[in-house]
Each structure stands twice: as C-alpha cells, then as structure tokens.
Amino acid sequence: MDWACLEQLWGLTKREGLEGLFTQKILCEISEAKPGSCSLLVPIIDELEAHALTPTASTDDLEDIMVETVKNLCHCVMSSQCRITTCQQFLSPNLSGLVFRHLTGQELIIAVCTGRLEVVRALLSRGCNVNSYNEAVGTPLFAAFELGRLDIARLLLDRGANANIVAFASNPLAAAAMWRDEQTVKFLLTYPTVDVNVRCNDGTPLFWACQSGNLSLVEILLRHLQIDWRIGNEDNVTPLGAAAGGEHLPVVQLFFTILQEQVIYGDLVDPLWKALVKDDVEIVQLILDALGQRKRSFISERLRNTGLSMLWWATSCRCSKVVRLLLQREDVDPNGGPVPCDREAGTPLSEAVKVGEVDFVQLLLQRADLDPNILVPNIQSSDHVTTLYTAVSYCEMLMVDTLLGDSRVDANASDSKGQSPLSLAVQSGEVDIVARFLSRPDVKVNDLDMYKRSAVSYAAEEGCLGVVELLLHRPDADVSVVDTYGYTPIFWASIKGEHQIVRCLRENDASLVSSRTPQGDTCLMCAAKQGWLLVVMVLIEFEADPAVRDSCGRTALAWAVRNKHDAIQSVLHAYILRRELPMRGD
C-alpha cells in the first residue's frame, strides 16, 4: 500500500486514525532496528510536504521521519542519490518547503549522518550549532565517530565541538574505549579539551579499557598527564579493580610498571578481592606481594570482607587455586579467625563441606593448626554443631569418611539436644555412614540425647534393620536403656511394626520380651494395639506373656478386640489356648 491508496481511503475512514497509522508505519519500517522489513514505498520529500499540509500533522513526527529516512542506509527507504540530494538542499539559502522549515536545527546532524563533508563544512560556515543534539543520534560529533568518519569529526572539533557532551550515557572517548578503538582514542587525546576522566556508562575510559583488557589502550590512558586512575564506577570499582576482576594479569602488571609507588596499600585491597573470587591465583599472588612491600607488618589473615577471611571466601566461591595458595601461607589461619556475631557463617572447613569440596577438606586437614571441632551454625536450626555433624546432615559419605580419618575430629560431639552425629546418621538411614562411624573404636554407641534415646532406639523406630545389625555388632551396645517415654528399642520396633528388628533385638537380649513401660504396656500389647500381626507372631514365638494387663486392666487380646484387629484376635486366642492346654492336662 502506498500514499495514494491511503488517500483514496480517507473518505471511508476516520482521517486522523489513518494519518496516525501511516506515520507510525513509516517510523517502524525505516527504523534502524528493522532495516530489512521495509515493504512500504516510503514517501519522498514532496509527499512529506503534502502530509505536512494536513491539519493534524505533527512536527515531531515529521522530524523523526526525516531524520530516520536520511540516516537509514537501506535502499528500500531512500536511495543513496535521493539521500544526497535531500542533504544538499540544506545549502539552499531559502528553503521554502514546509518539511525543511520543520527541520530547522537538524540540518547539521542529518548532514553528518549522510556523510557529506562539504555539506557539513558549509552548514558550519553558515553558523549551525556544532553541538546541536538529537535524541536519535546524539551530537554531530558523536554521530561522526559512530559512523567512523574521523574527517568529519576533525572538522567538528576544529570548529569547537564539545567532545565531553554525554549522549546515550556515553561520549566519544568512553565509547571508543569500550569499543577498543585505539585509533579514535589516540585521535581524541590530541585535543587538550577532551576530558580523559569523564565518567560515562558508569565508568571512565580507563575503566572500560581495563575491563576489556586492552593493554595498549590502558597504557595510552595511564600515561596521559591528566589521568586520574582511581576514579571508579558507582560501585566504587576502580580501573585496577576492573582489570583484576576481569582476570587481566598484564593490565594489572602495567599499573605497577607505570605507576610504581603511586599505587598504595589502599589501592590494592579491593582488586585483591576481585581477583580472589575469580580464582586468579597469579593476580592474587602479585597483589599480596605488593601489599607486603607496602606494609611491613602485613598479615593477610587481617584482610576481611564483611568480617570473613580470604580463605573463607575462596572456599565458599570454590576457588581451588587460591585456597591452595592461601593454605601455603603461614599468615593464614585455617580456622578463618573470629566470625562476626551477626553472620551465620562457619569456618573454612565447614564451608568446604557445605559447598561439597572434599579436596578443600583434605587440604585444610593437612594444616596442623586446624581445629576441626569448632562449633558452626547448624543448617537445620539455630543450634551450633561441629563440621562432622554438618557433613552427616548433608549425607555426604565422602566428607564423613575424610573427617573421621583425622583423629583430631571428635566423632561424638553432639548438638545442644544431645544428639550425636551417629544418631543423626542412624535417623537418616545412611548405612554406609553408620558403618564408617562404627569403624572408629572411640565412637560411643550408647550416648543418649535429651530424650534419653540412643542410636539403637532411633534405628529401631526408623525400621533400619541393616543399621540395627551394625550397632548390635558392637559388644558394648545397650538395647535395654529406657528412654523418657518409658520405651526400650524393642518397644519402638513393636509400635512401628518392624518384626525383623523385633526378632533381632530379642535374639540379642531375651529379657526384652517381658519388659514393661511405666504404664504397664508390653511389646505384645503395643503390637496388638497397632495391628501389627507379624510382630505379634514374632513375640508369640518368643513366649511373650499374653495375660499381662496394663494400667487400664487390658491385655493384648483386649486391645486387639477393642481396635478390631480380627487376625490378631485369632492368633492370640490360639496362642492363649495353646498355653492353657498343658496346665489343663496337669
């Protein structure tokens, strides 16, 4: 559809709507963002003038169309010759066209975008504002650099163009540094009015050169007499910090080469942290050496970020090279030093367990001054526990094995509720971890928590037959301890219906079958209440007494009847009858 077709439809459609639609379609299709989408025959100057004569024509729309049309290099929008012809019309002393009058002040920017040096020169001679600004392309100087026209840029600068004006959060020098355009940077720095320290896009030209790692650009800027190499971005990251964080070792070395002793202690701390979290061990080593040269009493352990040591951060960020480097230094505390009270952070060792780095754990354990039993925050509560306890809570067999391999690690250190790492492993059902604990002769299998429950008690409740068998292989395992609830381990197995564990415990201690709770309950009674037929059958096999009554006066059979467990009733009836027959025979 072209302009003529639209005019024919004006009588049938709301005029203002068509004009608005047409304007937006032109702007969309000549946009630089979609140069290949042009399907409409874009109106040339005469058609734009005709549109300008309509009562609802918008001056802003016309300016946008004109600027975008001349600037767009797609031939579907405007041929090169048409673009040049349009641009050259700006030289006419009396522009009568309505569109051209709307474009007053935009002539220079359009001429620069068209690349017509002679038109730019003529317009400047006529007094056009060399620093005019257009929201689409910025200043004429910025547009010249964007198009790579140094000849036009030189002309504009010689005529007083301000290279320090910021357009699109940048200026020519900062943009050239970001684009790694060494030629443009050198060219601009020949003009003394160019501010080498201007901050654009949240960074100075030196900052962007350092971040990109462009060594030659960094050297050019660092050697400039007016350079302020400490100016950082909004986050206070300096150019040196950007180079260190970007892992650009040659750039960092260049700072020391050119600036030498100008780089003081305070300039190096932040770059050190930037390099550390990137695991750039060469930059970390370089900066640590420089810090030592600048401060005689330098101790790396005193360097803290939010109160936490370098070793802690290197461990937390999984920086293996830096971890190895730091652990080789005598001024590094493997325990991480004091942790601020407002931080829920542990030691480097506990952090290594948390992030799953067993290699770090092995390296830390090699330090003779490591204390592996420091209490650290528990991941599941507000409690504080040992690193071994933490490893068990993560069910990390390799971690647990590594820690238990060190005799300094306390295998029995419990949490505030008295729960030992062994009991925690038992409750998790981790047979391999339990077996590893039991391989250490100093592990106490009978330690009780605040509920007076042991590892065997929890294993019986959880139904972990393999774990129960492992625990009972320890000759010192006590299966008769009564907990706060009045239960022994066999009671928990009976209540949970774990008939195999009931058998295992009974075979270990025959007296367990006849044990009773403070309420008078027996294991047989508990199993009958819950309806666990197999447990009842195992207990009957071991001659459990069915006549015992609880504090309510009920027997196991009475509970089976009360809870309507018919199969258990039948078994108990038969069992009672069988027990009574010998007595009747007598």
User: Where residue 2 sits, what CATH number does that domain have?
Assistant: 1.25.40
Is residue 34 domain-resident? yes
For 120-152, the three-class secondary structure string (H helix, E strand, C coil) is: HHHHHHCCCCCCCCECCCECHHHHHHHCCCHHH
Strands 308-309 and 304-305: antiparallel
- 417 half-sphere exposure, CB direction, 13 A CA radius: 12
User: Hey, what are 67's tokens?
Assistant: 């600027």
Q: Among 517, 449, 516, which residue's Cα sits nearest to residue 486?
A: 517
Q: Among 507, 506, 499, 565, which residue's Cα sits nearest to residue 534?
A: 499
The Cα 209–Cα 226 span in angstroms is 16
| 221 SS3 class | helix
Is residue 285 domain-resident? no
| 586 SS3 class | coil
Is residue 36 domain-resident? yes
pTM: 0.77
Q: Among 570, 574, 494, which residue's Cα sits nearest to residue 539?
A: 494
* Residue the block writes with tokens 């209440």: 529
Q: Give the pLDDT confidence score for residue 377 in this predicted structure.
A: 83
Total count of domains within the chain: 1
CA distances to 102, 257, 336 from 253, rounded to whole Å, are: 56, 6, 29
**Is 231 within 8 Å of 204 (Cβ atoms)?**
yes
Is residue 255 domain-resident? no
Q: What percentage of the chain carries pLDDT values higher than 90? A: 63
pLDDT in tens, 150-161: 999 999 999 999
Low-confidence ranges of the chain (pLDDT < 50): 1-3, 6-7, 9-19, 21-23, 25-49, 51-53, 71-80, 83, 95-104
Is residue 381 domain-resident? no
Is residue 559 domain-resident? no
**Is 445 within 8 Å of 456 (Cβ atoms)?**
yes
Q: Give the pLDDT confidence score for residue 12 in this predicted structure.
A: 45
**Is 146 within 8 Å of 137 (Cβ atoms)?**
yes
| 376 SS3 class | strand
Crossing angle between the packed helical segments 397-404 and 431-438, to the nearest 10 degrees? 0
- What are the φ and ψ backbone dihedral angles of 384, each rounded to 5 degrees? -120, 130
279 alpha-carbon distance from chain centroid: 16
- What are the φ and ψ backbone dihedral angles of 376, each rounded to 5 degrees? -130, 160
Q: Give the pLDDT confidence score for residue 337 in this predicted structure.
A: 83
Q: Among 417, 473, 409, which residue's Cα sits nearest to residue 442?
A: 409
Q: Give the pLDDT confidence score for residue 581 in this predicted structure.
A: 76
| 413 SS3 class | coil
Q: Among 310, 372, 369, 363, which residue's Cα sits nearest to residue 336?
A: 310
The range of the structural domain enclosing residue 103 comes to 1-162
CA distances to 168, 205, 284, 285, 322 from 249, rounded to whole Å, are: 31, 19, 10, 11, 15
CB neighbours of 317 closer than 8 A, spacing ≥ 6? Answer: 276, 277, 279
Q: Give the pLDDT confidence score for residue 344 in this predicted structure.
A: 72
The Cα 24–Cα 229 span in angstroms is 47
The Cα 507–Cα 465 span in angstroms is 14
CA distances to 73, 140, 168, 351 from 108, rounded to whole Å, are: 18, 7, 19, 62
Q: Give the pLDDT confidence score for residue 94 in this predicted structure.
A: 52
The Cα 393–Cα 119 span in angstroms is 77
